[in-house]
Chains A and B, each alone.
Chain A
Amino acid sequence: MKSLLKFITCGSVDDGKSTLIGHMLYEAKLLFADQERALELDSRLGSRGGKIDYSLLLDGLLAEREQGITIDVAYRYFTTSHRSFIVADTPGHEEYTRNMAVGASFADLAIILVDATKGIITQTKRHARICALMGIKHLVLAVNKMDLVGFDQRTFEAIKEEFIQTTAEFQIKSIQVIPVSATEGDNITTQSPNAPWYEGLALLPYLESIDVHTTDDTKPFMMPVQRVSRPDHTFRGFQGQIEAGKISVGDELMTLPSREKAKVKRILVTDQAQDSAYAGQPVTIQLDREVDVSRGCVLTMDNQVQEADSFASTILWMDDSVLTPGKHYWVKVGTKTLPGTVTAITHKIDINTGHTVPADQIVKNELAKCEFTLSDQIVFDSFEHNKSIGGFILIDRVTNMTSACGVIDQALKGESRFSTLDTGITRDVRAQQKGQSPLTVWFAGSDTVALAKEVEKRLMSSGYHTMLLESVSGETLRGTAEMAKVLNDAGLISLVSHDSISAGELETAREIIGGKGFIEVNADESGGMSIQDAAKSAVKRVVQSVIDHSPSNNYDI
């Protein structure tokens, strides 16, 4: 039985991408006869006059034919005597980055095209970056239009060298660079006599022989639960696709997040009872005892699989609307969908160069490092280790658009990096000693320092115990928020001055400190007021809140 290779082609219409694939199919005599007739018919309307326009094989949509470009992903299927192939032909233009990402998310290998007369261009680097982000491990660089540079070896070698340097930062397992001419057919299905200095395989033979086998024998068993099957009270089975490793009847596994241990009683691979099953198979697993497992839970023997509710991630924004920190989205990871919020944009990544760019908003087709928080803990793994529970999508809650896709880089620890020892002296006890109820006042706005200082002075002179901290946007924000919380635990009122904090960062701070003991004072909202008046009004709010939250207040009721 033949194996299957799923690959994508990246490049623009000028690079001859559709022509390359069209020619490959044509040369390999893989077209059905009537499709060939249709091609000749279509060519009469096409741009190449009477000659066959191979690209018409792939550009399917009417709108695209009119514009002469590939807008969306087109899938094509062909089989040679060695292998079955699915090729996703994707658009090259930056405007259609998200469509390219769709194709890349599905593929095991990417063919990136460059025009030999132009060499590596910005677009080439972008394509390599998107492929790497979506998890592609094997790249082929097809240096096209070699006929136009007289099959010059030095031109080819220079392009090859630059490409290898460009992709060094990605975790790519294999790279093959091939000199081709898509319109003339050099190195497409057979080795070209025009480039005798090229010793590798022609494109199609290379695709037929490359090993992209992704399953790792050594990985422990892991399966996200798709659904619980309960046809009657006697049967309860967990249905899903095994994403890693192998499982046998009698094996002990762990349920996550409930962390119960159970043994496998029975395995159905589709409708057949089997002793064991392995990665890629759809199964129904019965366990030997009752466990608390529903859709979105994970059955596993992998200790690396963790749970968390806050993550650092890399995302590709795909929506026409901008990414808004603080806005609620649906987040789907594996088989689990939960409400969540992008709490902070760490920075943008220039999709062409990979450079870090400060940003407070992200628009369509941009890449960014972001932090996001979910309404509950989920089971996850890093994308590198377990693609199926390391990748996610964000869904707009109003339009239902798939707004972004991303990969989890790591969990953000929910626990504070400041640890205090439990002495039995509680926060309330410490607070009562100081005769106040602790809280954190976060000063937001464009210029917060003067106001924060004035508020502290006034609180101090009214007998409150306070501490004023300064916070800045970026990586230290969480640390400052945690510090403010420790001070609250000590019974103090924390004041934090933070210029130009974003809505998402404010949300992060609020979550760390806890909504009840958190007050936001926006320095910009005091309008034309003097600092004194603004401080007076802020102090009033703080004092009211202290009274509301005071433990002694309970006795009055």
Chain B
Amino acid sequence: MQELTHLDQLEAEAIYIIREVAAECEKPVMLYSVGKDSSVMLHLALKAFYPEKPPFPFMHIDTTWKFKEMIEFRDRKAKEFGIEMIVHSNEEAIQQGINPFDHGSAYTDIMKTTALKQGLDKYGFTVAFGGGRRDEEKSRAKERIFSFRNKNHSWDPKNQRPEMWKLFNTRINKGESIRVFPLSNWTEKDIWQYIRRENIDIVPLYSADVRPIVNRDGHIIMVDDERIKLEPGEKVEMKKIRFRTLGCYPLTGGVESDAVTLDEIIEETLGALSSERTSRVIDQEAAGSMERRKREGYF
């Protein structure tokens, strides 16, 4: 009898989880962040239900500071696969002019965490799939695949429900919700290898190209539009860079690279000496910052 490969096993596990949610939960939504993990999630959702379309909508929390190419990619994919794509932003905060330059860490709380809570509440979603992986960060390493949130969307790491075998308990009380992480057991390497094996389309920003950048606090920040305010002494340079993760352009550091093809990207990534989230500026603020964020409802 054939034995499943490592990737086959991870794929089967994720599809099992996605189908369980679709079968047992009342109002699921799949969060879509346009990044490579979201591309894998969308791909898995399409495979899980084929020939049926995924029986739930997708939702993008748009901070309005995403790379332009991400938005274009999102809209193109939604059309191509015929899926329902909800886009939600914290309109109130936009009116107030909240931005990543002036509002520091409060920006992420307001435009991502608060916006996510708003989006879930607005449509009454009880279950949200996310692309979180346990290899990303220490507090995620301890989170269950089905992770419960109270009425205020906050996580209690000390009181997680036991998760036994494949017997997922999807029951919740009114007001509570669940975050489900089908990619919990995937590593960054698995994601890349799966993207190659399945020939999954990803945002071109992952691929090296000559782009306008500034150097800021040791990070390479792309000048994606005119809203970026240059500090005294900063100047825009053209450099061949790519991104290992995607988010809001002012908060996402690029890396100098010549990796253009998928194979080159993978080779560079797997040989890299820096784990993935280093390029996310927020994670370096303080030891344990991610855990604090999650308690407050960050995905």
Q: Which positions in A face B, CB cutoff 8 Å? A: 1-4, 32-35, 41-42, 45, 58, 60-63, 71-77, 79, 84, 86, 98-99, 101-102, 105-106, 134-135, 213, 215, 217, 226-227, 229-231, 235, 239-241, 246, 268, 270-271, 278-282, 284, 295, 318, 330, 332-333, 335, 337, 387-388, 391-393, 395, 399-402, 405
Contacts and interface: CB of A to CB of B under 8 A. Distances in A.
B1 A227 contact: no
Contacts, number: 170
Interface stretch (B167-175, B225-233, B250-258): B167-175
B7 interface: yes
Contacts of B46: 271
A475 to B, nearest CB: 28
Contacts of A282: 11-12, 15-16, 19, 47-48
Interface in B1-57: 1-9, 11-12, 15-16, 19-20, 22-24, 46-53
B158 interface: yes
Contacts of A246: 1
A58 B291 CA distance: 15
B275 interface: yes
B152 interface: no
A246 B163 CA distance: 28
Nearest to A281: B12
24 contacts: A1-B5, A1-B6, A3-B5, A3-B6, A4-B6, A32-B275, A33-B274, A34-B273, A34-B275, A76-B141, A86-B185, A106-B165, A134-B165, A135-B165, A217-B1, A229-B49, A229-B52, A240-B19, A271-B46, A281-B4, A282-B19, A393-B164, A400-B173, A405-B167
Given A75-B185, A229-B49, A268-B50, A395 B288 contact: no
Interface string B274-294: 110010000000011001000
Contact of A400 (B172, B287, B288): B172
Given A271-B50, A400-B172, A99 B162 contact: yes
B169 A405 contact: no
A522 B141 CA distance: 53
Interface of B: 1-9, 11-12, 15-16, 19-20, 22-24, 46-53, 134-135, 138-139, 141-142, 157-158, 160-167, 169, 171-173, 184-185, 187, 189, 272-275, 278, 287-288, 291
A77 B157 CA distance: 20
A61 B171 contact: no
B163 A391 contact: no
Given A231-B53, A270-B48, A282-B11, A402 B22 contact: no
B48 A400 contact: no
A64 B274 CA distance: 26
Contact of A227 (B8, B23, B272, B273): B23
A227 B4 CA distance: 23
B167 A391 contact: yes
B22 A227 contact: yes
B69 to A, nearest CB: 27
Nearest to A32: B275
Contacts of B160: 72
Contact of B3 (A3, A318, A402): A3
Nearest to B160: A72
A373 B20 CA distance: 24
Q: Closest 6 interchain pairs by CB? A: A60-B138, A32-B275, A271-B50, A1-B5, A231-B52, A33-B273
B16 to A, nearest CB: 5
B48 to A, nearest CB: 7
A79 B187 CA distance: 10
Contacts of A72: 142, 157-158, 160
Given A2-B6, A35-B275, A318 B139 contact: no
Nearest to B140: A60
Contacts of A268: 50-51
A98 B1 contact: no
Given A235-B51, A271-B46, A405-B162, A77 B135 contact: yes
Contacts of B16: 226, 241, 282
B19 A34 contact: no
Contact of B164 (A1, A399, A405): A405
B171 A32 contact: no
Contact of A280 (B12, B23, B49): B12
A62 B288 contact: yes
